[in-house]
Amino acid sequence: MSLNLTFRQLKVFESAGRHLSYTRAAEELHLSQPGVSMQIKQLEESVGLPLFEQIGKRMHLTAAGKEIYAYSQSIGHLLNEAEAVLEELKGSSTGKLAISVATTASHFTTRLLAAFCQRYDGVTISLDITNRASLREQLENNEPDLVIMGQPPEGVEVKSEAFMVNPLVMIAPANHPLVEEQNIPLRRFENEHFVVRESGSGTRGAIQRFFDEHSVRFLTGIEMSSNEAIKQAVEAGLGLGIVSIHTLELELETQRLVILNVNDFPIQRHWHIVQRRGKRLSPVAQEFKQFVLDEAVKFIRLPEAGI
């Protein structure tokens, strides 16, 4: 059997398979829903097997659909790489750049990107600021060019390079009784409640490992899905917090929050720039990666934090 299919059919199918929705595929590709249905029907006729099945109100890929979906993604990535290689041969400094960033890193990454765009004004950037679970999924699917995050995910074949320290510090409201104390023993916090990120976040995992290594109990009071929410909760007196110092620029300047002087703190982590292993970066992606490795530290602005 020879498959008589087109790249257009595969592109439409890949979008529908990723969203599990003809409607969302039509919106993404700027097509009509009947147009999407027609392309997928023609692909199914060429394959000789159904690619989707409806169970209740939800659409699912069939076994054949899962196989074609994997190939459609691989072919899409190869075409993108081919386009990048051709641009490189032209010596082009323009192009598209897809960057995904951990929410904690968004504060300095936006400044990094702004400076990069001033140097390369022909570049079009797609920026996704999201959580660790989403970054892992994106890397698994080889979607972004590069990811900026903390600890790279395990179980995914990636290439990563550390480019800057990411200290985690303990914060309290400005009127907290421990603000004036120095060299506070970690065990002093054994019965304190902390406002923390959700389970699965890189920061939460690093904090739990740190307390376990020091044999100190770590009590979680309230879980939050963002660092901004944690800072607001700590300022309101709902508990202490442990966050990246790179998220505290405004709060330290305005003295709304204070970094406590705790023994064995800060927890030293690093920021990494990550790509899927084997991915061939476009010229503009290579330029951005080198820009991050060489100059990221210049875009951190913090008052003296006493760490």
Whether the CB-CB separation of 44 and 4 falls below 8 Å is answered with no
Question: 166-269 adopts what CATH topology?
Answer: D-Maltodextrin-Binding Protein; domain 2 (3.40.190)
Percent of the chain with pLDDT over 90: 42
Distance CA 129, CA 145 (A): 14
Range(s) of the chain covered by CATH 3.40.190.10: 93-163+270-299
Say whether domain 93-163+270-299 belongs to CATH 3.40.190.10. Answer: yes
Give the pLDDT band (50/70/90) at residue 91: low
- Give ranges for CATH 1.10.10.10 in the chain: 7-84
* Per-residue model confidence as pLDDT tens digits over 150-180: 889 888 899 999 998 889 999 999 989 898 8
Domain covering 7-84, topology: Arc Repressor Mutant, subunit A (1.10.10)
The pTM of the full predicted model, rounded to 2 decimals, is 0.65
What pLDDT is stored for residue 305 in this prediction?
Answer: 47
Indicate where the chain has its CATH 3.40.190.290 domain(s): 166-269
Q: Residue 276: which of 66, 104, 55, 80 has the closest Cα?
A: 80
- What is the per-residue pLDDT for 153? 87
